[in-house]
Structure 1
Amino acid sequence: MNYKQLLVTFLIMQAIAVLLYTIMTFQTDGANIFAIFLSNIRSFTWNGQFNLDFSCYLALSALWIVWRNKFSASSFFIAIAAMIVGIMVFAPYVAWLIVKEKGNMQAVLTGER
């Protein structure tokens, strides 16, 4: 297995792991994620710091998606989904790019720029 296949496998495993964790959390805590997430940020605790930092990563990944795709309409859909759902969308998207670009990491990162 080459490093590109390993990376694609790792990305898919991340997405599946977070999906399974999300399903279990949804069953125990319900769908009140945004209220919990925002109340943690307002609390000025380490949980809040982590959530704020994580939000910045989500925003950066969304910005990269639209930039890479030259701000196309479809890229906004993917970016919004990745910003809300996180690695469950972002990891498969990057894995798809690796396959689509035949492992050319420059093309994966920059698209047609």
Structure 2
Amino acid sequence: MTLFRMFLFAILSAIIVYTAIVMINHGPNLLPVFFNDMLAMGWPGQFNLDFMTFLMLSAIWVAWRNGFSPMSWILALLAFFGGMLFLSVYLLILTSRHKGDMATILMGPSRTGS
């Protein structure tokens, strides 16, 4: 579990630094660039579409894991728009809260009886 947490922390750190550099150089203008790349029907757009489906899957998993409660939808929106910045922090919190119990981390305490 320590290696997994180190991996999550490394991802979080890398994305924070990279995002900061991109924002300094290009501003916070992500969405028009993101969707215009998809409309252009090139490889950057294909990657963006693929990535967006991962974001959707992440958001659905977060909502499902939390029983589709009102708070789960807020977390799902954070998962969709926050991407790995959100998911790495969320998983770091869950690995700590559930003491590395992957079944509970993945399925939620209501499904595992934890």
Work out whether the TM-score is over 0.5: yes
Looking at structure 2, the residues matched to 68 and 15 of structure 1 have their Cα atoms a distance apart, in angstroms, of 22
Query: What whole-Å deviation, never above 9, does each CA across 1:54-87 have from its counterpart, x for those lacking one?
Result: 0000000000000000011222112111211210
Instruction: Name 2:84's counterpart in structure 1.
Output: 87
Using structure 2 for the length normalisation, give the TM-score: 0.92
Instruction: Name 1:8's counterpart in structure 2.
Output: 5
SS of structure 2 residue aligned to 1:21? helix
Looking at structure 2, the residues matched to 77 and 5 of structure 1 have their Cα atoms a distance apart, in angstroms, of 28
**Structure 1 alignment gaps of length 5 or more:** none
**Structure 2 alignment gaps of length 5 or more:** none
Using structure 1 for the length normalisation, give the TM-score: 0.93
2:75 is matched with which residue: 49, 72, 78? 78
> For this pair of structures, how many residues does the alignment match?
110
SS of structure 2 residue aligned to 1:8? helix
